[in-house]
Amino acid sequence: MNKALFLDRDGVINVDKGHVYLREQFEFNEGIFDLCRKYLEQGYLIIIITNQAGIAKGYYTEADFLELTEWMVKEFEDKGIVISKVYYCPHHPDITGPCTCRKPEPGMINQAVREFDLNISNCILAGDRESDLEAGRRAGIPEENLILFCP
């Protein structure tokens, strides 16, 4: 079974400027590439899990998000870091109703566990909000493997 480092996007990978969807808005957090390299060297897959309510709110389209994501993943690749997958939730409960993927729900993590045959007890999650950590708890990631990321 595999192990993964789950990363939230806004606030962990990049500076959270609110509904970031353009390259010009995207600013990588200092140290994120070194952090990912460290875990890759220890055999972890790098998986991104991100709520993207801006899609449901109409601030940007799913195509806008996917275009930025493709660019972001390429930036990691250019630094020798493979992102195994980016999972995203395009929903917002006030607009699209409840879903199982929007953090703090564990849907994105559970999907990754199935797709990558992950041993959840060996996985780590870094998030900048309590809802990120709660998603990890609900998926079964041990408390000591939950990191509140404060860049």
Report the catalytic residues.
8, 10
Phi and psi at residue 45, to the nearest 5°: -80, 150
Chain-centre distance of CA 99, in angstroms?
17
Q: Which amino acid belongs to residue 88?
A: Y
Pinpoint the alpha helices (H) of 10-129.
Answer: 32-41, 53-56, 62-78, 93-96, 107-116
